[in-house]
Structure 1
Amino acid sequence: MQQSSFDDLRADVARRAEAALEALLSPQAQPGELARPARLIEAMRYAMLGGGKRLRPALVVAAARMFGAEGDGPLAAGLAIECVHGYSLIHDDLPAMDDDDLRRGRPTIHRAFDEATAILAGDALQTLAFETLASDRVHADPAVRVELVVTLARAAGLGGMAGGQMLDLAAEGRFGGAALVDADISRMQAMKTGALIEAAVEMGAIVGGAGSRARQALRRYARALGEAFQVADDLLDAEGAAAVVGKKTGKDAAAGKATLVAVHGVAGARRRLETLTEEATGALSGFGDEAEPLRSAARFVAARDR
């Protein structure tokens, strides 16, 4: 199979995810809810519908399919991680964080609405993610659902995405301290960006009932993929056109962010991206054609232009 194996899967997942998110973010109150405030659900829908690569749900589905898991369960798990990703983007864009005005070519939530609404929209998406994972739509076995909840919580929390964002803020010099070296940058990016990508692959393996050896290989794959995604993102910020990327570029250098581009230049970062792509695909050498969508996902991440 060629690159299209993941492109086709991602397109199918994006279509299904859009319909499922439309239902999940219905303006009508759901059983057990008193009401869904109109402005809040409007902001959540603005953030989550009509855009995005849907990379993380596609990784969940691709990994689950390797072990024969099909249907709505893997997609529902993917929706949960997409809600966490959406919340993180809303909060990252806030003036207190990265202070961005554009996301996917549109005004960010705090610009389209206001800061308070943006904070609450992010909060609500985060809790909706775990409500979704706790549903038996994801898997009939409660033990599997608990493992999924723990996996996503760890990836999103103190030792994962949230902790990585704090390290990123520190790397800008907000709190003093020494400049970061390679190992520090890799750790920060593995937490801030890589953790959710790793979780997506891990959650697919959990839903699919993968064995321990398969899961170890997928962790190696996902770790390299997560770092490759961040390096590609750093290169887009350094070289990409805002009209194509859908957000302001050149912000990393302006903010003094610690990135591999800043330390090693564009050429060095590109060499690292090539190495990581090879590491990711190499980790799947023990699998057959069933892993081809994940192999092409690594090439997709390396070649993306937005």
Structure 2
Amino acid sequence: MEASGTVEFLLLGLSEDPDLQPTILGLFLSMYLVTVLGNLLIILAIFSDSHLHTPMYFFLSNLSFTDICFISTTVPKMLVNIQRQSKSISYTGCLTQVCFGAGFAGLENFLLAAMAYDRYVAICHPLRYTVIMNPHLCVLLILLSLTISITYALLQSLMLLRLSFCTNLEIPHFFCELVLQLACSDTLINNILVFVAACVFAGVPLLGIIFSYTHIVSSVLRMPSSGGKHKAFSTCGSHLSVVSLFYGTGFGVYISSVVTDSPRKTAVASVMYSVVPQMLNPFIYSLRNREMKEALGKLIVHFKLVET
């Protein structure tokens, strides 16, 4: 069967047990709403408080927006399918999921690297911070990350268009991440592209983050006062937590796919990098960051005044 707009894939989801479907629906609907509302609050708090109009929070607002887009690429379709008691997704819909999913995942990697660079400049070159991290550079980093991510996403989609699919159209996942495995034509070039993309989108940003924090730790350890050390590390705590969560869950999924030959178990593990980090990021930044707490408090007070 040649790939065309008439092809429909079947997303088998996390479980085929009908008794579990209401629980899965409620759980993922709650996680989706918490993710969207939490990240929207972060964005609104940053834009409404002039004290947060700094490079660090500029990148954070972009990360929150990316998290909303990333989770919106996959979870809503799964919720609709459970509600309708359907498993189907069109060829176009599947291709769209792959395209947007790849783009937003890549963008998230680059944003985390940009935030690490921001912390590196702030701690290692504090006197030159405002000169180096100027608005022009911040916007340029966002545009560069966006351009690379969009280019890869489109290339990934174009490479999938050349494939044909046969009789097996069942994807043992809750989104179309594994669609490449169903192709009955040669996927060597596609696999090479995925490998190169993994090196570029995960390897390069991760190396940049490691490089930044190596210099940060070295610089902090040379500080004479313990108060200065604590303050420097506290500004990096939230970002380090988000990085650890994002890459830790990502590597966990990769390891689980290697040690187990069960696609369903891999699909369950995929929740840990495609849903959980996006949901927890707002909590990490709001609970560990004093400036963020104050901004959110002002925003809540403002909403209460508007209601009254």
Superposed pair shares fold, TM > 0.5: no
TM-score, length of structure 1 as denominator length: 0.29
Which protein has the bigger helix share?
Answer: 2
Kindly indicate whether structure 1 or structure 2 has the higher relative contact order, using CA contacts under 8 Å at least 6 residues apart.
2
Greater CA radius of gyration, 1 or 2? 2
